[in-house]
Amino acid sequence: MLEVLKERNFPYDELLLVASEKSVGKSIDFDGKMYQVIGLSEAVSQNPNIAIFSAGGSTSLEWAPKFAEVGTRVIDNSSAWRMDPSKKLIVPEINADLLEKDDRIIANPNCSTIQMVMALAPLHKKYGVKRVIVSTYQSITGTGIKAVQQLENESKGVEGEMVYPYPIHKNALPHCDIFEENGYTKEEMKLVRETKKILQDNHIKVTATAVRIPVVGGHSESVNIELGSPFSLEDIKELLNNTNGVTVKDNTFGNSYPMPIFAEGKDEVFVGRMRVDETNENTLNMWIVADNLRKGAATNTIQIAEYLIDKKIY
Ligand code: 11C
């Protein structure tokens, strides 16, 4: 978050760095200046204009309303508020125009959803998306630092804490987040539910399989999309090429396609391997890759904050 704030030259008069009690008092260097970490109550009492939350869901459920009460606009990275009908789920390139002065708690979508809807939104507008079948290949950074350590330990043959139920080194786990009652994981159901909410269309059918792989640079997705009307691949490529935040990398015979090693550290969503699905009418396949910590999290959140500032909604 701090890296992205600095890179984008985010406009601010005052910056508060806030964390749980055990980190209060720590010093953090940001842009050449030292900041002392403060606690949540202290931050609420300072009544900030915008609060960027990147804590767990339970912290967010408890504290976002306290900030909202004092007039702060909270942009929340957790899953706590995403499906609350009274809260907006925002990907700025798609639906920031929904934001109004009364929106005090704004939800940032899940990383795997953000990169997928970035490619689906222009297609939905032009052709209507009827059905999506997505399989993900997700970076261990989505789980957090302990997963990065697990992979490092396993690759060096060192014993250590395991956050996954199985080794992740040289493995693929069809298991991201917890299982829900229907047998799908929470990650898979986020792709289903959040896509409908962001594209504002409950008729879009989405089915997902989310897989964790031993990769750090970003999430990849194989996406099969059935459209409501005929298309040409050239038109789809042009449409996506002209979509803000999307980069088409699709020269199959030149071995040019998106990969996490290229997406890492970048803010765009990369799309390639576009092919007509020859088994189903009006259907195509594509491969979507993005840095899950960037457009999937920090960048999207900070873009929302920039929108609020730009439109003076704070
Ligand atoms: C993962 N998508 O890769 C998750 C991480 O709901 O914000 C982010 C979880 C969330 O495991």
- 10 Å CB burial of residue 245 (0-12, 13-18, 19+) is buried
Q: Range of 259's domain?
A: 112-292
What is the whole-number distance in angstroms between the Cα of residue 142 and the centre of ligand 1? 5
Residue 131 and residue 80 share a domain? no
Our answer to whether residue 203 is catalytic in this structure is no
86 and 173 housed in the same domain:
no
pLDDT at 314: 87
Q: In terms of domains, do 192 and 67 share one?
A: no
Residue 96: give its domain's CATH number.
3.40.50.720
Based on the domain organization, do 254 and 302 belong to the same domain? no
Tokens 């020269």 locate to: 251
- Report field, pTM of the whole predicted structure over 0.90: yes
- Per residue in 18-72, pLDDT tens? 999 999 999 999 999 999 999 999 999 999 999 999 999 999 999 999 999 999 9
Domain count, the chain: 2
Q: Are both 252 and 221 inside the same structural domain?
A: yes
Same domain? For 174 and 50 the reply is no
Using CA atoms, how far apart are residues 14 and 73, in angstroms rounded to an integer?
15
Average of pLDDT values for 85-108? 98
Q: Is the pLDDT of residue 119 over 90?
A: yes
What pLDDT sits at residue 254? 95
- pLDDT tens digits for 288-311? 999 999 999 999 999 999 999 999
Q: Are residues 19 and 161 in the same domain?
A: no
The pLDDT of residue 252:
86
* Tens-place pLDDT, residues 209-237: 999 999 999 999 999 999 999 999 999 99
Proportion of the chain above pLDDT 90, given as a percent: 99
Write phi, then psi, for 265 (nearest 5 degrees). Answer: 80, 0
Has 176 been annotated as catalytic? no
- 76-98 per-residue burial string, b: 16 or more CB within 10 A, e: under 16: bbbbbbbeeeebbbbbbbbbbee
Q: Whose CA is nearest to atom 5 of ligand 1?
A: 142
Mean pLDDT of the chain: 97
pLDDT tens sequence across 231-265: 999 999 999 999 999 999 999 899 999 999 999 99
Domain shared by 71 and 101, yes or no: yes
Closest CA to 11 of 267, 307, 299, 245: 307
CATH number of the domain that residue 198 is part of: 3.30.360.10
pLDDT at 189 over 90: yes
**Residue 128 and residue 93 share a domain:** no
d(Cα 113, Cα 117) in Å, to the nearest integer?
Answer: 6
Tell me the ipTM for this assembly.
0.97
Residues with CB under 6 A from ligand 1: 79, 110-112, 138, 142-143, 176-177, 187, 292
Rounded Cα distance between 240 and 250, Å, is 11
Classify residue 164 by its DSSP letter.
S
Distance 129 CA to ligand 1 centre (A): 24
Question: Do 116 and 92 sit in the same domain of this protein?
Answer: no
Three-class DSSP category at 15? coil
Tell me, yes or no, whether 136 and 284 share the same domain. Answer: yes
- Whether 232 and 96 map to the same domain: the answer is no
- According to the model, what pLDDT value does residue 39 have? 98
Cα dist from 19 to 40, 62, 71, 142, 222, whole Å: 7, 14, 20, 20, 37
